[in-house]
Amino acid sequence: QKEVEQNSGPLSVPEGAIASLNCTYSDRGSQSFFWYRQYSGKSPELIMSIYSNGDKEDGRFTAQLNKASQYVSLLIRDSQPSDSATYLCAVNKPGTGRRALTFGSGTRLQVQP
């Protein structure tokens, strides 16, 4: 079992709809959670970070964290064709110091015009 699990997709949504991306993680000691967007052949771009249970909103993006269920999600409202990309869920390895990220395999999102 991978430490960070995501549905590989593709997740296809029509333009203007809400896209919902999900991620589960196995290490209960994980404390920091991140969503990155990656276009093909490009580098991961940080979209959201979340550390506390609940919701965190930034523009069209909302990250949700439920540590009891070891579940992180990303909602994208008013999806645009430019949102079509692979979305990587990343978790900070537990422990002190500047820890590395463990990534899920990514969910490919396709927004249909």
Partner 1 sequence: AAGVIQSPRHLIKEKRETATLKCYPIPRHDTVYWYQQGPGQDPQFLISFYEKMQSDKGSIPDRFSAQQFSDYHSELNMSSLELGDSALYFCASSSGLAGINEQFFGPGTRLTVL
Segment lying near partner 1 (by CB under 8 A), choices 20-28, 41-49, 64-72, 75-83: 41-49
Of the candidates 31, 27, 19, 103, the residue with the CA atom closest to the CA atom of residue 61: 19
- Establish if 45 lies at the interface with partner 1 (CB under 8 A): yes
What is the rounded CA–CA span in Å between residue 45 and residue 48? 9
CA-wise closest residue to 75 among 60, 90, 54: 60
Q: How many residues bind partner 1 (CB under 8 A)?
A: 24
Contacting partner 1 (CB under 8 A), which of 16, 42, 58, 78?
Answer: 42
Ordered DSSP codes for 15-63: TTSPEEEEEEES-TT---EEEEEE-TTS--EEEEEE-SSEEEEETTEEE
Applying CB under 8 A, among 56, 60, 67, 99 the residue interacting with partner 1 is 99
18 binds partner 1 (CB under 8 A): no
The binder of partner 1 chosen from 106, 107, 109, 111 (CB under 8 A): 106
As given in the structure block, the two tokens for residue 80 are 């645009």
Binding to partner 1 by CB under 8 A, coded x per residue (else -) over 71-90, reads -----------------x--
Q: Which residues bind partner 1 (CB under 8 A)?
A: 32, 34, 36, 41-46, 49, 51, 88, 92-93, 97-106
